[in-house]
Amino acid sequence: MIFAGLYNRMMRWASHPHAERYLIAVSIFESIFFPVPTALMVAPMAVARPDRAVRIAFIATSMSVLGGIVGYYLGYFAINLIEPILQDVGYWEKYMTAQRWFSEWGFWAVVVAGFSPIPFKLFTLTAGALSMALLPFVLAAIVGRSAHFFLVALLMAWAGPKLEPVVSKYIEWLGWTTVAIIAAFIYFHYV
């Protein structure tokens, strides 16, 4: 029961007195290298504290953009050191896709990556590696990440308390369905 354990841990973290500190750390590091999406922290926090949904979304957005700037500078100054790591951890094809998206869409590639479940960290590194202007990068990150986190937080604050019993009951099924949808998206989009 992979997803039930993760879900229960996230719900414990969400109601912990230091939940916002955890959210700050997860938001920053997820934009650089951390594999766990920040939304997995935002959603249960908004369910646990619907009155703080806007604050939660703001923290996630601002810290994710801050982490994105760090990722941007890592890409700008150290991409030659990072590329072998991307190959070793299996992110090379996704990194190549991010580069193609930048060549096609530029600014909008960052907005889409910030909003979607695509690993945002790859786009922060790629933006720096390709020397995208910093101000448009930051603006695109703010647009994409705020749209993503405010949507998740406000939706969960509104519907989450009503849906939480259903989600906890069917979390394994929902988790594996999400994995299947993401895998199908990647397969049909990238293969």
Are the beta carbons of 68 and 120 closer than 8 angstroms? yes
Instruction: State how far the Cα of 160 lies from the Cα of 43, in Å rounded to an integer.
Output: 8
Other beta carbons within 10 Å of 15: 12
Contact yes or no for 72/36 (Cβ under 8 A):
no
Output 191 or 54, whichever has higher pLDDT. Answer: 54
What is the residue extent of each domain of the chain?
2-190
Alpha-carbon distances of 30 from 43, 63, 118, 120, 146, rounded to whole Å: 15, 10, 12, 8, 15
Written as six digits, the tokens of 117 are 């479940």
Q: Predicted confidence band at 14 (pLDDT cuts at 50, 70, 90)?
A: confident
Q: pLDDT for 37-87, tens place per residue?
A: 888 788 888 888 889 999 999 999 999 999 999 999 999 999 999 889 888
Q: Which amino acid is at 65?
A: V
pLDDT exceeds cutoff 80 at 109? yes
The answer to whether the CB of 34 falls within 8 A of the CB of 68 is no
Closest CA to 27 of 145, 138, 127, 125: 145
For 140-188, the pLDDT digits (tens) are 999 999 999 999 899 888 887 777 777 677 667 766 777 677 777 666 7
pLDDT band at 136 (very low <50, low <70, confident <90, very high): very high
Give the residue with greater pLDDT, 64 vs 19.
64
Distances in Å between the Cα of 59 and the Cα atoms of 139, 170, 173 are 16, 29, 30
Q: pLDDT confidence of 1, banded at 50, 70, 90?
A: low
What's the confidence (pLDDT) of residue 19? 84
Q: Are 145 and 65 in contact (CB under 8 A)?
A: yes
Whether 63 and 24 have beta carbons less than 8 Å apart is answered as yes
190 pLDDT above the threshold of 60: no
Averaged pLDDT, 112-136: 87
22-56 burial code (b ≥16 CB/10 A, e <16) = ebbebbbbbbbbeeebbbbbbbbbbbbbbebbeeb
How far is residue 148's CA from residue 17's CA, in Å, rounded to a whole number?
A: 25
